[in-house]
Amino acid sequence: MLILFFISSGLFLGWSLGANDAANIFGTAVGTRMIKFSKAAIIASIFVILGAVLQGSGTTNTLSQLGNVDALGGAFTVALCSAVIVSIMTKNKLPVSTGQAIVGSIVAWCYFTSKPIDYGILTVLVSSWIYGPILGAIFAALLYLYMRKFIRTSTIHVIKLDILIRYALILTGAFGAYSLGANNIANVMGVFVHSASIKINFLTFTFDTVQILFLLGGFSIAIGIITYSKKVMETVGGEIMTLTPENAIVVVLAQALVLFLFSSSSLSNALISIGLPPIPLVPVSSTQVVIGAVLGIGLVKGVQEVKFGVLRNIALGWILTPILSGLLTFFSLFFVQNVFDIGITDKGQSSDLLGHEAAIPIIINLSNDYYYAVLLIILALFILGIIYLYLLFLRSKRRDNSNKGKQAIENDLMEIYTALSELEVNILRDSNSTLSPDKLKQTVLNELSPNIYEIQKHLQSVLDSLKDTGDKVDKVSVKKNLEKIIADLNEKRRNIG
């Protein structure tokens, strides 16, 4: 269907988000080599999909209020231009915000189509770029102080503590992935909510547009995590500040808390019910929150811990992202509308056919045959997943056995080397103890005699050279002879040394 082609730009944006922003979830953990990238990617992929489907509606509603992109052509262009800018930044290893890119593109769409912009929502979104990192720094600083106190006063054995830290990294990473999916799915599929209408009837279940878009967006983020997120982990995990595994827990947990707060409709409604102002449900950049958290730890440990040169480069990326995304979207909309004759708003010219098509609901009814086919596919995928996990287990077991064998060989070689060294020392000690004092003196003299003879011989040659020099009248010749004697003496000294 044609609608899938237009949604593909949103899927590309989701892939870019997974490759860039989602790397922050396990970037510090993988950077400190406490968790393998493959394991981190699988956990993050599962929980980011759950977060997107179960809790992604709050931030999507807020982003839709900024500018109501009401045609598939416009939504396609907005998402595609944002994805291109984010991909370029990611390729240059700059941790940028997908949210900044999509905001810049939506604003450009509003200006191009003369649609109104909700500047109140825009102010809230831009403000989140500032207070997001600040909250991340505050949470991280408090959590770091508590973590440091716990480790210093803890009596847990270091091996058990290492195991606890690994499990804590996995749990906080799963929470961070869930929060990322819940908070940032709006950046991926928010522009399509009002421009596409899809409904799938599956037996007694009905999946509406938002649920389908969130599920597809969650899968695209997961693919981005698995395929291309390893590069940015190097920047977030190690270049800003050297992080320990304990610090990694603090960073990921701080990021997860901030993103969860700004995506929880239940928490916002609870605050309203007791007469408090609600928390704005806005997409917050996970990259900015993580960097704020790392900076918060660095400020507690000491400013010298922070590499401000890297921070300057990242800040430059933050400024350029919305500007470049907006400019690219503005000029791309001109070509899409005038060159390709595709409608970018439902109130345009006669060429707005695609804009009106988007308003027609697409209803897909799945019969019993489809039901059994889907069930068989799910069962096959489940079996393949079990086989894959079993193969991973066997490979891990073989690797462990191989490492144990190598370690055993190294231990045996070390024992042999130690035994030989001790044997050599014992033989030398025994030979010295069997010699009488006179014989020992004689042995030493025999060893020194050749050296003494060589020294005497060389001194005699030096005396002869000095006599020849004294007989010369020419100053140049005297100088050359003295230089030659000095050079010979230096060479002899080096040989003796």
| pLDDT tens column, 374-427 | 555 666 665 676 676 667 667 767 776 776 666 767 676 677 767 767 776 667
Q: How confident is the model at residue 354 (pLDDT cuts 50, 70, 90)?
A: very low
Give me the residues paired with residue 362 across strands.
Answer: 198
CB 139 within 8 A of CB 258: yes
Give the residue from 284, 97, 267 showing the smallest Cα distance to 176.
284
Q: Token pair of 389, please?
A: 């996990």
Non-local (6+) Cβ contacts of 321 within 8 A are: 85, 86, 89, 96, 97, 100, 101, 104
Give me the residues paired with residue 364 across strands.
Answer: 200
- For the CA atoms of 281, 283, 288, 294, the dihedral, rounded to the nearest 10 degrees, stands at 50
Give the whole-angstrom CA distance, residue 413 versus residue 326.
Answer: 64
* pLDDT of the residue at 235: 55
Chain mean position to CA 233 = 2
* pLDDT of the residue at 245: 79
Give the whole-angstrom CA distance, residue 167 versus residue 152.
Answer: 19
Neighbours of 42 (CB within 10 A): 16
Question: 200 phi and psi, to 5 degrees?
Answer: -120, 125
This prediction's pTM: 0.69
Give the whole-angstrom CA distance, residue 449 versus residue 184.
Answer: 85
Give me the residues paired with residue 205 across strands.
Answer: 202
Neighbours of 234 (CB within 10 A): 14
Ranked by mean pLDDT, the top range of 240-249, 271-280, 302-311, 437-446 is: 271-280
Q: What is the pLDDT of residues 283-330, one digit of tens each?
A: 998 878 888 888 888 888 876 556 666 667 667 777 888 999 999 999
Percent of the chain scoring above 90 in pLDDT: 20
Sign for the CA dihedral angle at 178, 184, 185, 186 comes to: positive
* pLDDT of the residue at 185: 92
Neighbours of 237 (CB within 10 A): 25
pLDDT exceeds 90 at position 496 = no
Would you kindly state where each structural domain of the chain is located, as residue ranges?
2-366, 442-496
More confident residue, 101 or 356: 101
Q: What mean pLDDT is predicted for residues 108-129? A: 90
DSSP, collapsed to helix, strand or coil, labels residue 36 as coil
DSSP, collapsed to helix, strand or coil, labels residue 201 as strand
Using alpha carbons only, what angle is made at residue 363 by residues 10 and 220, rounded to the nearest 5 degrees?
20
Give the whole-angstrom CA distance, residue 219 versus residue 171.
Answer: 21
What's the DSSP call for residue 180? H
Q: Which amino acid is at 247?
A: N
Q: How confident is the model at residue 153 (pLDDT cuts 50, 70, 90)?
A: confident
Distances (CA, A) of 220 to 29, 80, 197, 300: 23, 14, 20, 37
Give the whole-angstrom CA distance, residue 61 versus residue 211.
Answer: 14
* pLDDT of the residue at 478: 62
Q: Token pair of 76, please?
A: 């396609």
Q: What mean pLDDT is predicted for residues 59-76? A: 87
HEC string for 299-367: HHHCHHHCCHHHHHHHHHHHHHHHHHHHHHHHHHHHHHHHCCCCCCCCCCCCCCHHHHHCCCCEEEEEC
Angle between helices 72-91 and 98-113 (to 10 degrees): 140
Q: Write down how long the chain is.
A: 497
Give the whole-angstrom CA distance, residue 370 versus residue 415.
Answer: 67
Using alpha carbons only, what angle is made at residue 247 by residues 145 and 182, rounded to the nearest 5 degrees?
100
